Structure 1
Amino acid sequence: MQLTNVVEPFGEVNVYKQNNGSIKIVATILTVPDLEGVRMGLALDGSASMKKMYGVSGVVGGVFGAAASIPNVVEPVTRTMIGYLSNFSSNGKVDLIYWACSADGSKIEEVGGFDEQQAQNLAIVGPKKLPWGRGTKLLAPLKHFVEKFKDAPSLGVKQPGALCVFVTDGIIEDLSDVKQYCLQYAKEVTNQSKPFIKMLLIGIGDEVDVGQMEELDNMFEGKNIKDASGQDIDIWDHQLASDMNKLEQVFKELVSEDMTVIGSGRILNQAGKVCKDYPDGVPALLRFTLPSGSTSFTLEFPGGNITQDISDGL
């Protein structure tokens, strides 16, 4: 289970209770990876349930139209995200699309590639060429980005060819098809016929199915599918928008045990038991096991310490 209340500088904390009662922890320390040659994609939900978030009231003109005016909350966030992600893009741009368009929610509408300056004046008002969707299907935008970035250079999980962010407010209707496609795609990453692309699903609003997001995020857990360098392939990450307080969190799984963030440190549980020692440097990706009955852990390092409660994940 991925914790929702994460203490900085942790970017993500996953809690896995084992059969013997011990608790496996996989956590990342929030940092910006050294990305080279990466492409960036951003997919915005174009389903009808998103209209209000784009500032579309449905009331046409006149006094009532003015009274029904509502703010477009998607536009400023999208402009900010494009501006941020473009700084890491190999071509200085982010490829933007709307997804979940058309009657059954299975179509996408390409908007174009935008750099930081272009994003400042970009109108984000939802799909124009296609009707708002009546369903939310993820397979089409997923396939779109895999095909679009098929020639992106990639060194595997440590250095993806692209990072693609998908924003949605609803339930994914084709989850089983998406998972099946991702398993096949992972095999193509394994044999190096396609570059590794990291996907991040961001949920907004109260209708998001968190269980679905976690299922997609954890679909490669225990599958033992590895890239050419022997790293476990994990295509998906997920995040609730309400839990995001820094844009750096889009990179929270793009870290490795080779990245050292602190010179030394150790992990203790709430009883003071040392569970992991890092004498030669604390990595950005942490893997350790807490004894049965643990309810928190502390990362202790020269000059300070950080304690993370894990009770919500037990």
Structure 2
Amino acid sequence: MGHEKPVEPFSDLHFEDGKVRAVLLHDPTVEGLDMAIYMDASGSMKDEYDYKQESRSFLEWLRGAPQKQASNQVEPQVQWMLEYLATKDRNGLLRVAYWACGASGKDVEVIGELKGTDVKSYKFPGAQRLGNYTNMTPALKDYVKYLKEQVPQGARRGCAVIVTDGKLHDPDEVKAFSAEVAKEIRAGRLPRLNFVLVGVGDNIDEEQLEDIAHAEFPGVGHLWCHRIAQEITQVAELVAVLVDENMTVAAGGTIYDDKGKILKSYEGRLPAVLEFDVPEGTESFTLEVNGQRYTQPLPDEDHHDEDEDEEDHH
């Protein structure tokens, strides 16, 4: 017999000398993932939201090229994030909102549930009222409320991306609310969720972000991860990396052989490439994640005529 075809969620399978190398096609831990993007709309972001008319070069003017469309720095980043994150979302729709709006900086302006496929038609000019303060707790509350409403529709997991360019005015409230969220997750009243926090520019208080992100909660682990981008133009790429890294943090995963014996356990992180040994004569293995089981038949061993020298090292 030749190779067994990989079954979903595996995209590639290699089996030799009792060693299995299985590559995940997509992350089975994020089934039912509901994503959202919250963009800082405090006054300090004014320049980034301003539409600037890009002027035509002399040559373009001579050729009669049309005037370039005005754009701002935020728009392409949100469009890029939306397009990418929608591929991970359970229905391809993301809640997108501005936060830190209004005089108190406590208002949240929801733009809507946006499709990843229509990104070029969306404009992101900033909130109607840019805020005077950077209060993040209202954005977290908005997302948690939204996620609870999505559970009956199939949401099993949550991830909110939050972008800020300044020092938070409510770090203690953020920490207190995070502890509440962790309690709700532990009690089964909320699906497991993550907050991905990206700070932009030089006015970020990195210590403050680290303090929030490093908190660990019993039975839940970390809720937050964070990074700093020097420029707004680096945000989308950073977010993609963070989401990829952190959305693998599910309730771990366990690999069993065909007799039900545990071969390997992943505590909190399921890597994209799973490597483990199987006993001789094993015909399949099963990956269990979040109560879901995926059984992958093993091909006949990829035998080589020449016995490859086993290097004697640990």
Please give the range of the TM-score, normalised by the shorter of the 2 chains: 0.5 to 0.7
Q: For the structure 1 residues 91 and 260, does the alpha-carbon distance in structure 2 shift closer, same or farther, using more than 3 Å as the test?
A: closer
Corresponding residue for 1:162?
158
Instruction: Tell me if structure 1 keeps the 8 A contact 2:42–2:134.
Output: yes
Find the aligned partners of 1:160 and 1:197 in 2 and give their Cα distance: 9
Q: For the structure 1 residues 118 and 71, does the alpha-carbon distance in structure 2 shift closer, same or farther, using more than 3 Å as the test?
A: closer
Does the residue aligned with 2:78 lie in a helix, a strand or coil? Answer: helix
Instruction: Tell me if structure 1 keeps the 8 A contact 2:93–2:116.
Output: yes
Q: For the structure 1 residues 208 and 71, does the alpha-carbon distance in structure 2 shift closer, same or farther, using more than 3 Å as the test?
A: farther
Corresponding residue for 2:255?
none
What is the count of residue pairs matched by the alignment?
213
Corresponding residue for 2:35?
40
Find the aligned partners of 2:81 and 2:246 in 1 and give their Cα distance: 18
The 5 Å alignment of 1:224-263 reads 225-226=218-219, 232-242=220-230, 245=237, 247-256=240-249, 258=266, 259-262=270-273
Q: CA deviation at 1:79?
A: 0.3
RMSD, aligned α-carbons = 2.7
Unaligned runs of 5+ in 1: 1-30, 58-68, 227-231, 265-277, 281-314
Q: For the structure 1 residues 263 and 50, does the alpha-carbon distance in structure 2 shift closer, same or farther, using more than 3 Å as the test?
A: closer
Corresponding residue for 1:201?
197
Q: For the structure 1 residues 73 and 260, does the alpha-carbon distance in structure 2 shift closer, same or farther, using more than 3 Å as the test?
A: closer
Q: For the structure 1 residues 51 and 32, does the alpha-carbon distance in structure 2 shift closer, same or farther, using more than 3 Å as the test?
A: farther
Paired residue type of 1:184: E
Q: For the structure 1 residues 33 and 248, does the alpha-carbon distance in structure 2 shift closer, same or farther, using more than 3 Å as the test?
A: farther
Unaligned runs of 5+ in 2: 1-24, 53-68, 253-265, 279-314
The 5 Å alignment of 1:164-203 reads 164-203=160-199
Instruction: Tell me if structure 1 keeps the 8 A contact 2:93–2:114.
Output: yes
Which runs of 4 or more aligned residues in structure 1 lie more than 3 Å from their structure 2 counterparts after TM superposition?
151-154, 242-246, 260-264
**Percent pairwise identity:** 26
Q: What TM-score, normalized by structure 2, do the two folds share? A: 0.62
Corresponding residue for 2:97?
97
Q: For the structure 1 residues 217 and 279, does the alpha-carbon distance in structure 2 shift closer, same or farther, using more than 3 Å as the test?
A: farther
Q: For the structure 1 residues 237 and 260, does the alpha-carbon distance in structure 2 shift closer, same or farther, using more than 3 Å as the test?
A: closer
Paired residue type of 1:188: E
Q: CA deviation at 1:133?
A: 0.3
Instruction: Tell me if structure 2 keeps the 8 A contact 1:217–1:238.
Output: yes
Corresponding residue for 2:46?
51
**Per-residue CA distance 1:90-110 (angstroms, 9 max, x = gap):** 121111000000112111101
**Per-residue CA distance 1:245-281 (angstroms, 9 max, x = gap):** 46233231222463254465xxxxxxxxxxxxx878x
Q: What TM-score, normalized by structure 1, do the two folds share? A: 0.62
Find the aligned partners of 1:240 and 1:118 in 2 and give their Cα distance: 28
Q: CA deviation at 1:184?
A: 1.4
Find the aligned partners of 2:190 and 2:242 in 1 and give their Cα distance: 25
